[in-house]
């Protein structure tokens, strides 16, 4: 809420959320109010700085995670290709097994 002008005097109020609603608290006028307003402004600036740092950290982590995911996908492709070239097959999207060649049946004779 901040400063309110009533007549020729200025009064400082602080708004806070309590029990799901906004509650205004009178903090005074004059030097006491100036000090409270300055403290509130410093808290706001500190919260903004913290929010920016947190956002930068999240962006840095997301970039690192994207590189890690890309590395894992490429490693998976490499392993799959190597196993297929070595004669293995993946059984029902589960474990890899050596692919056995079927013997011809006697019916063809």
Residue 79 placed within a domain: yes
Domain span at 74: 2-86
Residue 17 has, within 13 A of its CA and on its CB side, a CA count of: 1
Q: What is the CA radius of gyration of the chain?
A: 34
Residue 46 placed within a domain: yes
Residue 10 placed within a domain: yes
What does the alpha-carbon distance between residue 2 and residue 14 come to, in Å, rounded to a whole number? 6
Residue 101 placed within a domain: no
Residue 99 placed within a domain: no
pLDDT digits (tens, 9 = 90+) for 67-97: 999 999 999 999 999 998 988 888 777 788 8
- Whether 27 contacts 33, CB under 8 Å: yes
**Number of domains composing the chain:** 1
The pTM score is 0.58
Residue 32 placed within a domain: yes
Largest CA distance in the chain: 113
Residue 23 placed within a domain: yes
Strands 88-90 and 9-18: unpaired
Give me the mean pLDDT over the 44-61 stretch. 97
């Amino acid at each position: 809420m901040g400063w309110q002008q009533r007549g020729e005097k200025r009064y400082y109020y602080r708004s806070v959320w309590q029990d799901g609603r906004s509650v205004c608290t009178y903090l005074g006028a004059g030097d006491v109010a100036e000090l409270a307003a300055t403290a509130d402004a410093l808290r706001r600036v500190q919260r903004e700085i913290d929010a920016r740092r947190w956002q930068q950290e999240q962006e840095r982590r997301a970039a690192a995670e994207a590189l890690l995911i890309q590395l894992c996908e490429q490693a998976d492709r490499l392993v799959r290709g190597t196993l297929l070239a070595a004669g293995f097959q993946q059984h029902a999207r589960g474990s890899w097994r050596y692919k056995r060649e079927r013997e011809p049946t006697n019916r063809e004779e």
